[in-house]
Amino acid sequence: MENLDVMVLRALRDWRQAGRRGLLATVVRTWGSSPRPIGSIMALAEDGAVLGSVSGGCIEDDLIARYTRAHGDGVMPTGKPAFVKYGITADEAHRFGLPCGGTLELLLEYDPDPASLQTLVASLERGRLMQRTVTLADGSVKLAEASSPAELTVNDAELVNTFGPEYRMLLIGAGQLAEYLATMAQFSGFAVTLCDPRTEYQTSWNVPGVTTTTEMPDDAVTAFKPDRRSCVVALTHDPKLDDLALLEALETEAFYVGAIGSRRNAEARRERMIEHFDQTEASLARLRGPIGIYIGSKTPPEIAVSVMAEILAVKNAVQLPREAAVAVAKAAAAAV
């Protein structure tokens, strides 16, 4: 599935190019708990069509009622961007389904320029990282290619938000597990690349939207150029394919590097890397294996759920309890 921000911006572009009025809502500040993070966006058309999300649904309903003709006499304003806050009081927090004490602030841009939206969407579709700066005094927009991802910033004069690139996943090794994991990753907003030089596996791959390569895995990692929005997952169980790719990935900023396998295989992998590739326990600290969280999974789809859950937890900076690790949980079960 495509990156949600691109889908939202493309829909808004299409509405504006067709002559329909619309607004772009961006979460710019939060206090306490918030259902959606800063930088989340939503597009709203004058007839009530909506794409994206800034809350769990109640705030979207309020925006539709206030600014569209979908449910009554809502009117979409014109002019410069405006800020709006939700959840300032306990009653409002309850009304809009915000967590206790939660408050969020949105910036609403009315009728964004379709030409600017077209330039932004086209750049994102080409895989470029783009910075979008909105001047609050008049709503004018400047676009520039960015060198690295950045958090949204806002002050009295302007809003600066960075879009793209997508989170990316490099899978080493085709097969049934890879197919399930690739599908889940795409639905989670990852662009997926599959590497497998083995000819017998190349013809059976059947997941649309995945970029494939047949080069050797360590070369594929180099070409992939993992950054801090990237993860590398080895699934072949073959040291000749997995080990060099993992070592190459550990030299990058990839937020997650791991390999499938049993506890015994994971320990053997570490021993090989230390003995033959001059690695140390410290240099291998980021290497995950066995990968996944322990849910008692046995089948490929269940294992894929386990692995995807761990990847998303690491991506979202969630500290999983030690007991959730596959190796720890299985060791505890064996001891009992």
Going by C-alpha positions, the residue among 278, 290, 151, 300 that lies closest to residue 233 is 290
State the Cα–Cα distance between residues 333 and 336, nearest whole angstrom.
5
Q: Indicate if 231 and 95 belong to the same structural domain.
A: no
pLDDT band at 332 (very low <50, low <70, confident <90, very high): confident
Confidence label for 2 from pLDDT (cuts 50, 70 and 90): low
Say yes or no: 250 and 121 in one domain: no
- State the pLDDT at residue 164: 81
* Three-state SS at 293: strand
272-322 tens-digit pLDDT: 999 999 999 999 999 999 999 999 999 999 999 999 999 999 998 899 888
User: Do 172 and 264 reside in the same domain of the chain?
Assistant: yes
Binned at pLDDT 50, 70 and 90, residue 192 comes out as very high
182 shares a domain with 128? no
The CA R_g of the chain, rounded to the nearest whole Å, is 23
One domain for residues 130 and 91:
yes
pLDDT-derived band at 154 (thresholds 50, 70, 90) equals: very high
Domain total of the chain? 2
Share of the chain above pLDDT 90, in %: 65
Residue 142 has which token pair?
Answer: 């400047």
Out of 163, 196, 231, pick the residue that ends a domain. Answer: 163
Q: Tabulate helix, strand, coil % of the chain (nearest 5).
A: 35, 25, 40
Q: Which domain holds residue 128?
A: 4-163
Burial 19-43 (b: 16+ CB within 10 A, else e): eebbbbbbbbebeeebbbebebbbb
> Do 236 and 147 belong to one domain?
no
Query: Which of 97, 131, 163 is the last residue in one of the domains?
Result: 163
Whether 80 and 133 map to the same domain: the answer is: yes
Residue 155 and residue 120 share a domain: yes
* Residues 54 and 183 placed together within one structural domain of the fold: no
CATH number at residue 298: 3.40.50.720
The two tokens of residue 258 are: 């791991």
Indicate if 250 and 289 belong to the same structural domain.
yes
Cα dihedral 132, 134, 140, 145, rounded to 10, equals -20
| Residue 266: predicted pLDDT | 93
pLDDT at 128: 84
Last residue of a domain, one of 134, 163, 192: 163
In this structure, the answer to whether residues 156 and 228 fall within a common structural domain is no
Q: Considering all CA atoms of the chain, what is the largest pairwise distance in Å, rounded to the nearest integer?
A: 73
pLDDT in tens, 80-127: 999 999 875 566 656 666 555 578 899 999 999 999 999 999 998 887
Q: How far apart are CA 141 and CA 159, in angstroms?
A: 10
How many helices (H) and strands (E) are present in the chain, helices listed first?
Answer: 11, 15
Q: Kindly indicate the confidence band of residue 188, based on its pLDDT and cuts at 50, 70 and 90.
A: confident
User: Do 123 and 68 belong together in one domain?
Assistant: yes
- Element (DSSP H or E) covering residue 160: strand 158-163
List 232's β-bridge partners, or say none.
Answer: 170, 257
Question: What is the pLDDT confidence band of residue 71, given thresholds at 50, 70 and 90?
Answer: low
